[in-house]
Structure 1
Amino acid sequence: MSYSTLSSRTVLVTGATSGIGQETARQLAERGATVLLHGRTAEEARAAADRLIATTDVEPRQLHTYSADFAHLDKVETLARQVAAEHPHLDVLVNNAGIAAPERHTVTADGNEVAFQVNFLAHYLLTCLLEPALTSDPGGRVVNVSSALHRTGSIQWSDPNRTRRYTRVAAYAQSQLALTVFAADQRVTAVSVHPGVCDTALLPLYAHKGISPAEGAANVVRLCDPAVEIVNGAYYDRATRVEPAQAATEDRTVKRLNKLADLLVSRSAA
């Protein structure tokens, strides 16, 4: 992996308080980037920044903290407004925040199945709202941290909240498929990446053993580097570009998902 400086780059990392997100923030900051760390609460985000300052040579001025609980879409809107106001030139958005779907079917206050909202809809809304701030300069991009489990998923178009038939693995896989499909949206330059099966809170969905979060994060950070050429809408399995699930390459599916997401986040479908 190239270790070129990223000192001119401003990167927002969602879910930066633990796991792959925390390590992504660390590696970006160590390479000189200005990193906007998002956490579910302000306390968690500040603690994550303090850990980086205490354990690295990162300058405190490189780190800015933000908070929003993605189970509440109004908090996502507030986050987007804050980021756009304070950082009108954003080079990279890393859509990383994610949860394992709970054992029991759970619906947010917004009326959406919680994994579908936190893992996909919140990132969809955040990306759309930050589109004006996302630079069109060469290298500007969105990196969606997806999962190989997207291949097992299907989007239940008539019941995306899975009120009729729910399993946690199917709900999680659906959210990851949606996030992967969203990378093919033409409004912004975007890719999705499976960083590898990592030893994080999501590990039980995959296996009993995984690589370190730092190893997984390296696959994310690589795609944030403007020196790394990407193909808009591409999917990467760790460092290798591969074909995603067939649904993720279909224009019809992309348009249908945008329409569904607009409806679920109460945005105009126009």
Structure 2
Amino acid sequence: MSDSTLSSRTVLVTGATSGIGYETTRRLAERGATVLLHGRTAEDGRAAADSLIATAGVNADQLCTFAADFTRLDEVETLAHKVVSEHPHLDVLVNNAAMAAPERHTVTADGNEIAFQVNFLAHYLLTCLLEPALTSDPGGRVVNVSSSLHRTASIQWSDPNRARRYSRLAAYAQSQLALTVFAADPRVTAVSIHPGVCDTALLPLYAHEGVTPAEGAEHVARLCDPAVEIVNGAYYDRAERVEPAPAASEDRTVKRLNKLADLLVGRTT
């Protein structure tokens, strides 16, 4: 990736205070991008920005911090409106924030199963609300950081909150399948990517060991570069474009998911 292709770009990275999000932010900033760094709290965001400035030699004026707790959809709305008003031209959105589903079935104040909301619904709402700012210029794109576990999933249409039968692995996988399906939504230019099994807070869902978050972030950052041509709706496993689970490229599933998501985030269409 050359510096010149990113020097005039503005990228929003969700979940940018640790793990793959932090390392993706570092890579993009080092290559000249202006990065809107999202954290769950303002303190988290400032701490991450300070660390990047101190350790990676990133210029302070390349980083703008934003806060929103994705377990609260009203905070996601506030975040989106703030970004649109302060950065009306957004080149890339990296939907990266994620959590492991908890052992016990947990529902947010908005009434949604927590992993489904944090990993998918919050990103769905954010992406829809950022549409006015997301550029339609060549190279503009949304990058959904998904997971190979989406292949093990099914979306429980009649019970997306999994109130009847809950398993943390199934809940997490469902959220990742939804995020992968959402990349095929024709409303935005988007791709999804499995960055590899990385040594982050999500590692226990996969394995006992993984590669560094920096290695995973390299694959995510590559897809943010306008010089890298992408196939709209495609799914990447690290550097390779591969076929996602069949549901992720079915028009019918995309439409059905949009309807469900609109309902759950309270959007009227």
Q: Are residues 1:3 and 2:2 paired? A: yes
Q: Are residues 1:82 and 2:115 paired? A: no
Alignment of 1:154-165 (within 5 A): 154-165=154-165
Give the whole-Å Cα distance in 2 for the aligned partners of 1:15 and 1:195. Answer: 15
Shift of 1:3: 3.2
Q: Are residues 1:93 and 2:93 paired? A: yes
Q: Are residues 1:253 and 2:258 paired? A: no
Match of 2:151 in 1: 151
Alignment of 1:115-154 (within 5 A): 115-154=115-154
SS of corresponding position for 1:36 = strand
Match of 2:109 in 1: 109
Deviation digits for residues 81-122 of structure 1, max 9, x if unmatched? 000000000000000000000000000000000000000000
Match of 1:265 in 2: 265
Match of 2:221 in 1: 221
Give the whole-Å Cα distance in 2 for the aligned partners of 1:181 and 1:22. Answer: 25
Shift of 1:4: 3.9
Give the whole-Å Cα distance in 2 for the aligned partners of 1:259 and 1:168. Answer: 24
Shift of 1:58: 1.1
Give the whole-Å Cα distance in 2 for the aligned partners of 1:163 and 1:207. Answer: 27
- Unpaired runs of 5+ residues, structure 2, are none
SS of corresponding position for 1:12 = strand
Match of 1:230 in 2: 230
Match of 1:207 in 2: 207
Residue 234 of structure 2 aligns to which amino acid in structure 1? A
Q: Are residues 1:60 and 2:60 paired? A: yes
Task: Give RMSD over aligned pairs.
Answer: 0.5
Answer yes or no: is the 8 Å Cα contact 2:29–2:35 preserved in 1.
yes
Give the whole-Å Cα distance in 2 for the aligned partners of 1:138 and 1:42. Answer: 32
Match of 2:21 in 1: 21
TM-score, scaled relative to structure 1: 0.99
Match of 1:197 in 2: 197
Deviation digits for residues 170-209 of structure 1, max 9, x if unmatched? 0000000000000000111000000000000000000001
User: How many percent identity over aligned positions?
Assistant: 82
Deviation digits for residues 38-69 of structure 1, max 9, x if unmatched? 00000000000000000022110000000000
- Unpaired runs of 5+ residues, structure 1, are none
Residue 167 of structure 2 aligns to which amino acid in structure 1? T
Give the whole-Å Cα distance in 2 for the aligned partners of 1:179 and 1:218. Answer: 20
Match of 1:177 in 2: 177
TM-score, scaled relative to structure 2: 0.99
Residue 3 of structure 1 aligns to which amino acid in structure 2? S
Deviation digits for residues 226-266 of structure 1, max 9, x if unmatched? 00000110000000000000000100000000000000000
Give the whole-Å Cα distance in 2 for the aligned partners of 1:239 and 1:98. Answer: 21
Give the whole-Å Cα distance in 2 for the aligned partners of 1:78 and 1:145. Answer: 22
SS of corresponding position for 1:27 = helix
Give the whole-Å Cα distance in 2 for the aligned partners of 1:64 and 1:239. Answer: 28
SS of corresponding position for 2:54 = helix
Give the whole-Å Cα distance in 1 for the aligned partners of 2:257 and 2:99. Answer: 21
Give the whole-Å Cα distance in 2 for the aligned partners of 1:264 and 1:112. Answer: 7
Structure 1 segments, 4+ long, off by >6 Å, are none
Residue 45 of structure 2 aligns to which amino acid in structure 1? A
Give the whole-Å Cα distance in 1 for the aligned partners of 2:57 and 2:42. Answer: 23
Give the whole-Å Cα distance in 2 for the aligned partners of 1:138 and 1:211. Answer: 32
Give the whole-Å Cα distance in 2 for the aligned partners of 1:186 and 1:262. Answer: 16
SS of corresponding position for 2:99 = coil
Answer yes or no: is the 8 Å Cα contact 2:3–2:32 preserved in 1.
no
Deviation digits for residues 9-38 of structure 1, max 9, x if unmatched? 000000000000000000000000000000
What is the number of residues matched between the two proteins? 268
Residue 214 of structure 1 aligns to which amino acid in structure 2? A
